[in-house]
Every structure is written in C-alpha cells, then in structure tokens.
Amino acid sequence: MMVIRLPLFPSRIPVILSLLAAATVARSEPAPAVFPGRHWEVRQPAEVGLSVARLERLRSLVGGRGCVVRHGYLVYTWGDPSESGDVASAVKPVISTLLFLAVQEGKLSSVDERVADFEPRLKTLNDGKDAGITWRHFASQTSGYGLVEPPGAAWAYNDCALALYYDTLTEKVFGTNGSEILRTRLAEPLQFEDRYTFDAFGRADRPGRLALSVRDFARFGLLYLRQGRWRDEQLLRPEFVRMALHSPISPRTPRTNGQEAAMLPGQRTLGGGRDQTPTGPGFYSFNWWLNGTNAAGQRLFVDAPPDAFAASGHGGKRVLFVVPSLDLIVSWNDSDIEDHDTSPENPKTKMNQAVRLLTEAVAK
C-alpha cells in the first residue's frame, strides 16, 4: 500500500495544534446550562431554533395566556405571563415533589412508607383495608381510598384521596401549611417572580389548590428538565427525578368498579370526585402524565417525542408541558383546551394539536 505524505510547513504547526486543542475543548466541555435569575433571560424564537409562525398558531389554538422556554431562555409569551391563577390538577406533580423532598430531608423513610404512620385512623378504616395505603399509592392514584378496592389494586383519579395526601403530607409530615413549604423549598430557590400560594381560593376553600403564573410554572418544569439541579445546587436528587418520570403504573391496571367505601370523618375533596377518568394506566407516574402507551398500545401524545411529560388540569385548560429531547417547555392557563383525557392516539384533539404545533416549531 502506498502512503502519500504531504509536506508539513513548520510555520503552520502552532495554528494546527491550536485548532485541534479548541476542537477537543469544544467536544469535552458542553455549553453550561442556562437558568433564569430574578427574571427570565429573553431570546427571540429564531435565536433558539424556533418558528415564530408555528408559535403564533399555537397561541391562537390554545388561547388564554402562556409562555415558551427553550435552552433556559424565555422566547415567546402571550396574554399576561405574570398573572397568577389556579392550576387545578396540574398541582399534583408539585405535591409529589414535596413528597420527594420529605424523603430527601429524612422526614419519611421512603415513598413506600405507610400513610397510616402519620394518619393512624387509616389503620382501622374499612376493617383495616386502608392501613396499607402508601405515599406511592396516593401519588399513583391507586390508593383505593373511599373505594372498595385494596391499595394498589385499581386506578381511580380521586380528588378525595388527593386532599388526604396533601393534608397529611403538609400538616403531619412537614408540620406546617403548604404555602410555607412551597416558599422555602421551591419558590425562593427557583426565584418565583409572581404571586404563589397553595390557597388559590383562600384558606377556607380547598387548601392545596395552587395558584402561580405560567412563567413561574415554567421554572418548576425547568427544574425537572435539569434533573433536579438549579444553578449550582441539587435541589432534588436525580434519583427522585428518575422515579417521578419513569414509574408509570402498569398499563394493565384495571379501573375501579366505582363502588364506594367509607372515608375519614369530614373528608374533603380538592376539587372532583373519587373516579373521574379511565385515562391513566400506562401514562401516570407520581402525578405526572408521561408520553407512554396504554394497554391498547395507544400513545398519549401521538405527535410528541416519547420522553415528553406534562402536568395537566381541567382537561388541558392549565398545562405544563416539557420535552427534554428538545430542551423545550410550554406553560399555559385559562386555555380553550379541555380534551386531554381523550388524547391517547387521537391527533385531532386540541391537546394533541397544541403538542404538534409546539414540536413542529423546532427547526429541522
């Protein structure tokens, strides 16, 4: 085999070595992750590879108010992104984040600890059937609370169970009110800009209903997108982020038969009833909606990458949607979308249309 040797001019050697060194540094040192400070750093959509035309169509479809974040920059808003409002069931992943923080701080041994250790009345409720409810059951909507099934046996989107989850976690595990826990564990570290409270309608009306702005909700999404890290601090350990986003309940989990059982005296609801939707098995993980598949093989968001996940309230009217593979977040409130529950494998729902416009906004 003939080897051809090209002449190497000594004067060019330093230049070549410098270029090789720069290339090596570029490969080994990725750009640092961007986080907002007291205010979001703003970029134009085109600067981060997004189509303004697609984002404008997203705004028209969704309505209400919202914001889009990419690569840690605020790149598009509509309505008033500073307005604080109730996020309805999109609060649920926030409550489960407080659960993870309780374990992280040593207030609980694990998510599989029994809730009855903090609410002893569960030990005798329904002849002891509810004694086995764990925090994981609450976060997976499989507690069987107020229903005849034992813990872990059936799916039931249950706002009475959610209220017990919130009340026991805040009052008996943390020993204070939800807004104070939110302030110290999330709002201040993430530097929320706008009003936030777990008493969206006042302390006498369904405490646990979270009110915050879409741009502050996007900060919460960025925390999960950055694997629990915020600037130089690991606020939530990576294993809890993995648990939250990779622990869907089995697609084969049956829906409750709906037969009711006794609840604790004076039990309240955070909003709805004990069995609100069949949609959940295969998609639901620590109160996040994952873009997984159900027993029929249907994907929740057919036009989004499989790693997408969401917090959703009122059927999609109030949403935080995160796509890690695209480094992309959208948050909206008071939208015109109410068909989240009928979205599996249905590209025609407004929820899926919004997701498609968001992903299509990314320049190919």
d(CA 68, CA 358) in angstroms, rounded, equals 9
Sequence length of the chain is 364
Look at domain 45-254+266-360 and name its CATH class.
Answer: alpha beta
Q: Tens of pLDDT along 207-246?
A: 889 999 999 999 999 999 999 999 999 999 999 999 999 9
Share of the chain residues as helix, strand and coil, in percent rounded to the nearest 5: 40, 15, 45
Instruction: Say whether pLDDT at 349 is over 60.
Output: yes
Instruction: Say whether pLDDT at 154 is over 60.
Output: yes
- What does the pLDDT read at residue 4? 41
Name 328's Cβ contacts closer than 8 Å, sequence gap at least 6. 68, 69, 70, 322, 358, 359, 362
CA atoms in the 13 A half-sphere facing the CB of 85: 18
Contact between 94 and 210 under an 8 Å Cβ cutoff? The reply is yes
Structure tokens belonging to residue 143: 């507690």
Average pLDDT over residues 309-335: 97
- What does the pLDDT read at residue 364? 57
Give me the torsion for CA of 339, 345, 346, 350, rounded to 10°. 50
Q: Tens of pLDDT along 270-284?
A: 999 999 999 999 999
Instruction: Give the global pTM.
Output: 0.91
> Which H helix or E strand runs over 57?
helix 52-62
- What does the pLDDT read at residue 17? 42
Instruction: Say whether pLDDT at 24 is over 70.
Output: no
Q: Tens of pLDDT along 174-191?
A: 999 999 999 999 999 999
Contact between 256 and 213 under an 8 Å Cβ cutoff? The reply is no
